[in-house]
Structure 1
Amino acid sequence: MIRPFVKMNGAGNDFVVVNALEQPFRPTEEQIRSLADRASGEGFDQLIAIEPSDSADAFMRVWNADGSMVETCGNALRCVGWMLMEANGADRVTIDTAAGPTTAVRAGDRRVTVDMGRPRLDWTQVPLSEEMDTRGIELQLGPIDDPVLHTPGAVSMGNPHVVFFTDRQDDGFVAGSGSLVEHHPLFPEGVNVGFAHVLDRDRIRLRVWERGAGLTRACGTGACAAQVAAVRRGLTDRKATVVVDGGELVIDWDQANDHVLMTGPVEIERTGALPF
């Protein structure tokens, strides 16, 4: 069976998107890993299937590059939202995910705003394996008396994140530290690891080590988590631009309804077909 796909990215975070509205799509972990390989496969951070939904315009299923299925992906929500709006001529669509439903709205030419919902801030919601204040959890890397990283904020945006505030953001440091923290026993479901440098009250430079995907050019839920964690520490205002490797995302933690709104670009790279 040959199955068409669209290769897309949101601020550099790239996806292979498959239409599974009429025919189910259930790749194996081995197939996903092979497809994700940037040397021999199509290459992507996440594989996305657009599936039917009884309660929304579509259901978005997400697999990371290592073959694991995850709850949601913020940048993919913008891409899928744009595709659905283009298909039906609407300016707003609802997308269901394993983390719950999300609304996507046009915000300009190939720009989409996604309502990411309320951040989940209780330790049981992240989740953590023990009770802690998620504004700054008890976690450090390096010597006890002089840690390299310590006391990150913890937030779930439908998937688990920790955010370290640091100006050390080089590839080696992010990959080395992120890979250590990703599988730390404090996080029973694993965790996405953010490295945030607050540049101003309305600007954050962010790099993210994604659970199951590694160092990515952008992470939408990671940008939301970084902004929420920064606001909770009084480091930024409630609306800020988060600068990632692949571009910029505007994150607004709306005080009125406690929802996090993410606005950013959508790009189509190419089309192709999968052999399964």
Structure 2
Amino acid sequence: MTRTAVTVRRTGRHTGPVLVTAAAAWVWLALHGGGMGSPTTAGAGDLLAFVGVWTVMMAAMMLPGTAPVASLYARTVTAHRAPRMIAFTVGYVLVWAAAGLPAYALAVSADRVATAHATTGTAVASALFAVNGVYQLSNLKDRCLAKCRSPIGLMLRYASYRGPTRHLRAGAHHGAYCLGCCWSLMLLFAAFGVMNLWAMVGLATVVAAEKRMPGGFLVARAAGVASLTLAVAVFWVPALAPNLTSGGMGGMSGLGGMHVG
């Protein structure tokens, strides 16, 4: 066996918690994604249910693109790699779980808009597409994406972390950069519907391509241009934003009425 093959094999073993978590999340979504009830009101139970499912979604979508960074981080850990990589993964996922709180507020607003008037829903969908398009073409997007694509500087920072929460903090810090990179793409779930598996796969593919392909910055710009195009096209084809133009029955806040199992 060649040295390269051995290195790849060891790297895969050390980043196992990241990939296993992502795979388990995708399996759960595939099995339970169709169990969503109709939109509900903004109650505490709905919020907890939403954040729970949102966290599973983000783990499924974001962790595969994070595997190379986790692999690099694993090489800086000299002992007890498995539990420390679990802590890194938990820290990363917690950041995206926290993002579920503003996402829920947007979800409730989206359902109310969708049930109020179709024209209003179309206008809001156009605004969401436009916000994503502009951000995808912005310098801030480029800076955050650069950190996700080439995190050597972050590794040096993480090496200075001390204490029992070191690996949890490292995962959370990297998660914050990924949130800064991809938050506008996640806004599009308000237009597509949060349990739209096709939307999950499509957006996850964009995220992974941005982070891992040699032309990742071009992918980000192409996604921005496509989103700006949708911002105009949705006025002629409202079905491009089914969650906001079809009464909200695929709405994000409907997760509060999910029946699992």
Higher percent of residues as strand: 1
State the structure with more CA Rg.
2
Higher RCO, Cα 8 Å, sep 6+: 2
Higher percent of residues as helix: 2
Scaled by the length of structure 2, the TM-score of the pair is: 0.27
